[in-house]
Chains A and B, each alone.
Chain A
């Protein structure tokens, strides 16, 4: 374990920007701690905290200058590695001859600062979807640097301990920081991480500092705002496809798609064709899609998931159950963003708990109830 004081950490962040990396880190904007392109360490939050609950997110001020004493804002690494709109291919037609090119662009590589363990796990989940299939994603992913942060203050909707994805960073980082009042205990986990930390003055962390860092994680584990029993997945949701709870939650759900946008693993997308005004160049663009929209399941002459309950069931069952069959991992990392950013505060942990409590219950047809 290494130790970086606050100044050295700032220099490291600035050095990444100076070396040409597209620096992505947390910064305060529009009443939230968002993840965005930043110029250097001075853009990072300081003395800011947050409160999260179902349908609620508020910034708070802290009486210290801690940088990372909050859980997470609305966005994760997904927005950068898998952008909401991206041109995948360009087609041209000259004298009737068609050409289609789908090469990834040559953007600056990302350096992520301050991703949480849930966010790093979410990237590992999206890796299983995109890494072998999509060269655009793969190129960005493989070039990016990752400085993770072990969570000190989980949010009111967090349940990463239930999903086995936090609060301590265990995968997907080059460096992982634990913030202490004067500086950072740093775990170095890759050759790239070793080179990064060489750039600035660091020293071996003392035993006391290492113990203090461990205490931060231990304390965070005890502060999760939510918990969820994921035993018997995927079968629990597979055998409850006709459960009355789907109708109940559908009556509250607005089908707005906020949960799918805020979710760091949701990967569904549309492919949209566009044409230049001159008519000689066409573009194939990928755009985030939501399984909450009616047209998502459109086939000739019909929408397969016409009712809202069928769409909610698709999302929740995919996230917690069929994802396991498809990709060998749950699609949920327990970040709780879908709960915080749901305008009506629907809580996935509550929905699954309700289904588990009445496991096997089947919706009774209305005519039967009427008689």
Chain B
């Protein structure tokens, strides 16, 4: 008797909390999705529908005009090509550098390890500012070359620590057996450790790839305008059209520029948005592993 009363009470209280939980979750989900839906709708709608405020979350007068003009934009494919070069090249170089650095640093018995670790951690908290970095890169004669993007960022301390922690978790017995079999550390790394490191490499590789894909500031200060990646192209388009608002360019042109801008947003984020749900688990893994201190 008393028990069932209790149960009822619990159910009742639970529903009070869900009064808060359910609306919050619905709002969060909508807030995260609606901006994307809006941009997608804008990119497929006709300028007339946009200027008459008829587009909300669904395309009106569905058409591909915006995408057609994006793809015929003189520098679009070049910019996309540079984005791909920076992302793929930058990620490969960073992974190689960080693996080669992290593996020795995961060996507790290595002399000098502690000192180098301290150097790595210190460089996380104190660094040269913008100017020393810029002057270094320009004095190495890297400005105006893709290496200005590919080399300076190749060691990310956060990712390095993720890798070190992962390598530490590999049982030492496996390596000891390999050493007895006469395998050197290079052999152990390439034949034993790396094949075991898929998830860690995926996590670090994805972080790095996202960084390179999204970066626009360093390309802006280090590269010539003929080498700009797609994010910088988008920024320039956005800057251009905000100017059009202020100077009051013709209505139809302005509306077309909005749908073109939307199309560029979609095209430049598409690879991430499409691949993201499948790769999500690796990102999350990194976030929780990375919290472990060295």
Q: Do A and B come from one complex?
A: no
